[in-house]
Structure 1
Amino acid sequence: MNKAFVKKYGTLLLLATGAGIIFQLPYIRETFYVPIQNAMNLSNAQMGLLSSGYATMSLFSYFIGGIIADKFSARKLLTFSFIATGILGLWFSTFPGYTISRVIFVLMGISTIITYWSACIKATRMLGTDEEQGRLFGLQEGLRGIMNALLVFGMTAAFTRFADEVAGASAAIKVCSIVVIIIGILNFIFIEDTKKEENSESLAEITKGMFKALLIPRVWLLVAIVFTAYSVYGLIAYATTFAQQFYGLSAASAATLGGVRYLIQGAGGIVGGFLADKMKSRFKVIIGGCIGLALSFGLFIVMPSKASLCVMVVANFFVGLFFIYAVRSQYFAVHDDAGIPINMSGRVSGIASCLGYTPDIFMYTLVGSWMDNYGRTGYNMTWAYAMIAAVLCAIITFILSRIVKKENAQKTA
């Protein structure tokens, strides 16, 4: 095993581990929704507003992060990001009240995005050739899931040690926060500093380039792919809460499912990535995955609320997870298919993330109010929303694939 191979995939493993674990804290509701809700006595709409506060700050942070990724040292930025997020997580583990918790989530919108996200995507693209993009992003998504699973199982073990679910949730958040801080230290030790000549563009030139990228039509299609696929990804997380409320799933089992979902992320991401490279098309993986997702959400709508169907609900959740992680592993890999040059990778991924992740701002508050006001019907409205988003994602991806195919045919003519 040569040194270059070890360095390449060792770096990928560290990037993947960080990419998963750093987002555990702002998205902690996905694993411990009910215990946190009970600990702070919050409504579903208020739980949604915590996420919306994080998302609103993230919206600006993605854009700024795209500029920063093409300018500053990854090592220093990543180290700051993890340590700051870990400290905020320790603060949240004390459940300091709704208002302060909103402030914490807003600050996480800075610490987990500006100094991390676009730099991570650019670093992943730079690890390999055009032919390797599918597997690199697939492996990153898959390894991210496996490392997340290990962390969530550790958090669940901490949660179940306490009879009081409030104390258990606090302990789980502390475990996550400490791991995040440790990852920050590892980034400082192992990530190489960017050479000065690699950051030769001035901040003004990079910022100008960011706005120029907004004039490229394909960039807007990449934004639309992320927007629709991310909507589906965000909504599938409610399946465990759905199973708890209508099919008798216990809180401990729901937390365990939070860990299992990341193992499925490992499978979906890796299979999706290698399949994309084998078929020589990241587009086909996204389109096929979205069709599977639309069918999976449709099944949630037609299933009656019977405890005996709990296993079927969980199995359908797993199928949906496999498809969404296969799709998610490729929606930044298609930047290469769309002809986005590597020196624009940070800013284009910043734009795609900034605008593509905007469902975070309104979606959780909207579906939270549906669930509060309409019960089971509110969940069905949520699943219908997800179905529409999945179908739109498939259509937009098909349109982009036709544009790229047409452009390539003109170049070779």
Structure 2
Amino acid sequence: MPEKTNKAGLNGSKIVVLLILGFVNAIMYCFPYVRYVFYDQQIAAMKITNEQSGILMSAYSLAMLSAMIPGGILADKLPVKKAMLASIFGSFVLILIYIFTMDFKIACVIWFLCGLTTNFVFWCSITKGVGMVGTDETQGTCYGIYYAASGLISALVNAICLWASKFGADETHAFVIAMWVMAVGTILAFLMLLLFFKEKEVASKNPDDVFQIKHIGVVLKNPTTWMFSIMVLCSYGIYTSLSYFSPYLTDVLGVPLVNSSIISIVRSNLMNLLCPLGGYIIDKIFKSANKWYITAFAIMAAIYAFVMIMPNTVSSGFATFVSLLPAAIAMMLYGVIWSGLKECKFNSAFIGTVIGIGSVLGYAPDFFYFPIFGKWMDLYGNDAYRMIFGFLMGSAIVGIIMAVLIRIRIKKAN
């Protein structure tokens, strides 16, 4: 009877585990990205400059970039649960050190080390962990629930930190209170994971099903690794560039700034609720992650093509609706992008290595999309938006090509 439940779908206990993993992921990234919510408070508490604030993120990015691939390799050799618990505890210790020092030089070291605790083995391990919760038939739903929970819980945690900081006598005290809330949340994540997450152990007599150094070469030589990584890059690039619709609505279409900001909140936070819908489409409608990727990228390309030819005279209501469409599809695409790993027939022994390589290439848009788009906006003003949307349409087309090529390889493998 229990086996039937597993095959039919996700039961209540598995959904709770996915929500816990969403909470774990959310709390782990609240601290390194604290400047997104507490920018001025952090500067005041540490008595640093805006440049120094940026240096902290540079230290974090440096560690993150250098840690992904070796972390993925190590994540294949270590038990998933132990790797996550060690990472969470490491982040907790770093937050405590930060609270009691608030020194810029020490903070630079903390942010670098935090880049390791949140990305070295943690990112690959939790991504593998989500896949372990469900069966092959429920991968889309698992990643959809997890990503939706992560986004919404992240907003909730930051809201609680903001509320708690109001009890501070001044900006410094308020910021320290917020950090204590994050520390408590981190240790709570540790305990919840310890108690409720059970790692699947796949016993196999085949030595190839246990990670070996030779598997690194197998992963690097596999064309699907690079196709999948480029597909992640395209989906993340489109997702992370949604913020350009806010200035577009204001600068080009004349939507009031306040309305544009409200729409941005809906686009950035509430759209996370659509992630499970993307998972449902994969598991129940297409019964294939890859088919959904092809469809979603095609819809994105069509939307951006329409936005590029849309006249500036359209009503603000229609413009707002059109600006939310790519956010909805992008969330249902990017939020479940890792669910296609099993369909690609990657051996579970080296799936962490694949995630590491896919993450380094996949999250590269953070390093080059924004500088390129910013330069276009400085040089061409409002005309830059057509260039930006054209670039994103091109990203969607590349995503379609990669998904089609992966589909061809899957069919050949079958």
TM-score range, shorter chain: 0.7 to 0.9
* Counterpart-to-counterpart distance in 2, 1:302 and 1:95: 54
Deviation at 1:54, TM superposition (A): 3.1
The one-letter code sitting in structure 2 at the alignment partner of 1:323 is I
Of 244, 266, 269, the residue aligned with 1:262 is 269
* Counterpart-to-counterpart distance in 2, 1:260 and 1:156: 21
Taking only aligned residues, the RMSD between alpha carbons, in angstroms, comes to 4.6
Of 220, 224, 243, the residue aligned with 2:226 is 220
TM-score using structure 2 length: 0.76
Of 286, 290, 300, the residue aligned with 2:293 is 286
* Counterpart-to-counterpart distance in 2, 1:381 and 1:30: 27
Q: Deviations over 1:118-175 (max 9, x none)?
A: 1112222222322222222222222223323422443454578899999877766664
Of 20, 29, 33, the residue aligned with 1:23 is 29
Deviation at 1:375, TM superposition (A): 5.8
* Counterpart-to-counterpart distance in 2, 1:229 and 1:166: 39
Rg bigger for which structure? 2
Of 112, 134, 155, the residue aligned with 1:106 is 112
Instruction: Name the residue aligned to 2:127.
Output: 121
* Counterpart-to-counterpart distance in 1, 2:194 and 2:43: 35
Answer yes or no: is the 8 Å Cα contact 2:147–2:336 preserved in 1: no
* Counterpart-to-counterpart distance in 1, 2:386 and 2:224: 33
Q: 1:75 to 1:348 in 2, by over 3 A?
A: same
* Counterpart-to-counterpart distance in 2, 1:125 and 1:6: 16
- Report 1:23-42 matches (<5 A): 23-28=29-34, 42=50
TM-score using structure 1 length: 0.76
The one-letter code sitting in structure 2 at the alignment partner of 1:322 is A
* Counterpart-to-counterpart distance in 2, 1:158 and 1:24: 15
1:402 aligns with 2:395: no
Q: 1:196 to 1:358 in 2, by over 3 A?
A: same
Instruction: Name the residue aligned to 2:142.
Output: 136
Unaligned runs of 5+ in 2: none
Q: Which range is displaced more, 291-300 or 351-360?
A: 291-300
The one-letter code sitting in structure 2 at the alignment partner of 1:17 is F
Deviation at 1:226, TM superposition (A): 1.0
Q: 1:60 to 1:172 in 2, by over 3 A?
A: same
Q: 1:373 to 1:53 in 2, by over 3 A?
A: farther
Answer yes or no: is the 8 Å Cα contact 1:74–1:191 preserved in 2: no
Tell me, what secondary structure is at the counterpart of 1:142? helix
Of 267, 271, 279, the residue aligned with 1:273 is 279
* Counterpart-to-counterpart distance in 1, 2:172 and 2:306: 34
Instruction: Name the residue aligned to 2:212.
Output: 206
Instruction: Name the residue aligned to 2:354.
Output: 348
Answer yes or no: is the 8 Å Cα contact 1:222–1:352 preserved in 2: yes
Q: Which range is displaced more, 19-28 or 122-131?
A: 19-28
Q: Deviations over 1:241-286 (max 9, x none)?
A: 77788855459x959955873332122x100001111211212322
Deviation at 1:216, TM superposition (A): 0.9
Deviation at 1:107, TM superposition (A): 2.7
* Counterpart-to-counterpart distance in 2, 1:255 and 1:104: 34
Query: Percent sequence identity over matched residues?
Result: 26
* Counterpart-to-counterpart distance in 1, 2:323 and 2:57: 22
Tell me, what secondary structure is at the counterpart of 1:57? helix
- Report 1:386-401 matches (<5 A): 386-401=392-407
Equivalences, count: 401
1:58 aligns with 2:55: no
The one-letter code sitting in structure 1 at the alignment partner of 2:271 is I
* Counterpart-to-counterpart distance in 1, 2:35 and 2:249: 15
Instruction: Name the residue aligned to 2:336.
Output: 330
* Counterpart-to-counterpart distance in 2, 1:373 and 1:42: 25
Answer yes or no: is the 8 Å Cα contact 2:87–2:121 preserved in 1: yes
Q: Deviations over 1:322-363 (max 9, x none)?
A: 212211233211112211122222222222223322333344
Deviation at 1:181, TM superposition (A): 3.6
Tell me, what secondary structure is at the counterpart of 2:119? coil
Answer yes or no: is the 8 Å Cα contact 2:43–2:50 preserved in 1: yes
Answer yes or no: is the 8 Å Cα contact 1:272–1:330 preserved in 2: yes
The one-letter code sitting in structure 2 at the alignment partner of 1:123 is G
Q: 1:116 to 1:388 in 2, by over 3 A?
A: same
* Counterpart-to-counterpart distance in 1, 2:198 and 2:39: 37
* Counterpart-to-counterpart distance in 2, 1:314 and 1:169: 35
Q: Which range is displaced more, 30-39 or 340-349?
A: 30-39
* Counterpart-to-counterpart distance in 1, 2:148 and 2:119: 20
